Structure 1
């Protein structure tokens, strides 16, 4: 199975893994070298960096030696910090009971805000309970509130907490609120591609920095969307063969084995 890694996505992933502010801005020459190691050519790196600069994700800077470089904008730093809790955190185990509901109404003349609301709630892991009513496990309340405030969307949304009291069984309702088949397929595709990579590293070979970096960056680029697509529902509400815990375990071990070793190649 082929996997698509866009240059822009890989650059975001690279900054998330190895390009935080404490590590300083990343020189353009280093970006070209590091993205070249995962198959991205120099023109694609430059055009993707330009798009990320226009979007306000990257800002031009200089290294102490005066070389052209790019660092993270304040908004990008906040986005990556928010993402760390989902991407690197353990799978939710039980957690806060109940649900958080987001009910929104957007005037027709501001329908661009309606699209932004829907897309952002979906990216946070909310499912659709009814038109204009989105639902997620209650533990996502703080992150949802913070995100909606940051995007200046709070005038259009009311948030509620509550229980599901019927009439359908909650497991049946959950299968309507989320496309569990599609989410499971994403987990299975991750496993198909990256579980064999993990088995190769488990065979006892000594980690080599460039290969560790290559395998880790591609795994992270695949994985980082999954903790958002999957809201982390209680096991009792999921099919018995749910692959989410397994894919989380594969990524966690790849991270533990490869992230620091790959950092040696990045610093080189």
Structure 2
């Protein structure tokens, strides 16, 4: 989930925003048209689609008219459905103060799976409490379970849910489990890139669909990575000047202002040059 502003990432972002609601596969020619406003040329689209196909995220299919296209695989749909809960929804109050622990043990003959497990848990937003012991806010349980089952790694992991009882203060422990300085820099980078865009839209009475689509897709592509790096840590456990709330507010405002106009452009047959 760390590839931002790459053609591959932008294609995944496009499918997450618009590809799931289509009645059939997205024609390759339409992908080329719809990635052009965000600076992705035709060769980059085709190359990136091929890589996503090799990774099992996109499946080749024909449209009703017989044109070549691609649709999401079931695994990709599950990934995007899980991602929606991070991108658009806040954790419910029932998980506040609760944590999910992932404790894993991999036999030596299968030690290569240790790296896979570590990278997947880190990619889900887990922090490291101790060697082989990873921790995250409890609202990530369902997505963690889906991911481990999908990757056939569940047999190596035990999941626990509970509260932190000491001995250090929980805020001190959170600062050890996650690199809060690095997370803050990611929020600040998002703000540097997209807060000026939001201010520019504030000064405009109109919302041209193609411009809305461009700015929305770029903001969504940047934002969708952040809830994986910062998994929704409780505000009371974070530094007082934490930029996460501000970056979330900027994304929500861009989402509210641009989403409808962007969707009109993405679904219009008039998008071709």
Shorter-chain TM band: over 0.9
> Which runs of structure 1 show a deviation greater than 6 angstroms over 4 or more consecutive aligned residues?
none
Q: Which residue of 1 aligns with 2:271?
A: none
Q: CA distance change for structure 1 residues 252 and 92 in 2, over 3 Å: closer, same or farther?
A: farther
Per-residue deviation, 1:93: 5.7
How far residue 95 of structure 1 moved from its aligned partner, in angstroms, is 3.4
Secondary structure at 1:103's aligned position in 2?
strand
CA contact (8 A) 1:187 1:247 kept: yes
**Conserved? CA contact 1:34–1:266, under 8 Å:** yes
What is the TM-score of this pair, normalised by structure 2?
A: 0.92
CA displacement 1:229-251 (0-9 Å, x = unmatched):
11212112100001111111111
C-alpha distance in 1 between matches for 2:133 and 2:151: 19
Cα distance in structure 2, aligned partners of 1:90 and 1:101: 20
1:4-23 correspondence runs (5 A): 5-23=5-23
Cα deviations by residue, 1:146-169 (Å, 9 ceiling, x for unpaired) = 322222211101112232222222
TM-score by length of 1: 0.94
Instruction: Report the counterpart of residue 26 of structure 2 in structure 1.
Output: 26
2: CA distance, partners of 1:265 / 1:118: 40
> Which residues in structure 2 correspond to 1:194-209 (within 5 Å)?
194-209=194-209
Give the unaligned 5+ runs of structure 2: 269-273
Aligned pair count reads 266
Within 5 A, what are the aligned runs for 1:230-241?
230-241=230-241
Deviations 1:27-49 (A, max 9, x none): 11111111111111111111111
Matched, 1:161 2:161: yes
Pairing 1:49-128 to 2, within 5 Å after superposition: 49-90=49-90, 95-128=95-128
